[in-house]
Amino acid sequence: MRSANLLILLLLLGSLWGCSGGLGEVTTEQVTEQVGQPITISGEVVKQAPFGQGGGYQLADEEGMVWVMTERTLPGVGDRVQVTGEVREEMIEVDGQQLRDIYILESERYEL
């Protein structure tokens, strides 16, 4: 339960820090339009949030940033990766307000 709360908090913080809101390469700016769809995206890892086996990492490209959740070992900050996964949406309540957060659930990752 504590890990789930941490995940929600990290996702929310990712949104507040500039997370931008079909299978194919997209930019972080286009991720918000792909909820429920498999996508492929490339970028540089700029933050890590380890917990349990895996965790989350923030991926940045020229358009913005998005959090990626994984059960695998996290890539290092500064690594360039290509990720395939499903775009997920979570509604998070903070101070009585519903906030929308978007992230990618990783299914494949390749170092570039």
Binned average pLDDT, 10 residues per bin, the chain of 112 residues: 50 42 62 88 94 90 91 96 94 87 94 94
> pLDDT at position 19, please?
37
Give the model's pLDDT for residue 16.
37
* Overall fold of domain 2-111: OB fold (Dihydrolipoamide Acetyltransferase, E2P) (2.40.50)
In the chain, domain spans: 2-111
Q: What is the DSSP string of 39-73?
A: EEEEEEEEEEEE-SSSEEEEEEETTEEEEEEESSP
pLDDT at 62: 87
CA–CA gap between residue 2 and residue 61 (Å, rounded): 30
One-letter amino acid of 48: Q
pLDDT of residue 17: 38
Task: Please state, in angstroms and rounded to a whole number, the distance separating the CA atoms of residues 66 and 49.
Answer: 13
Q: Which phi and psi (to 5°) does residue 26 adopt?
A: -130, 170
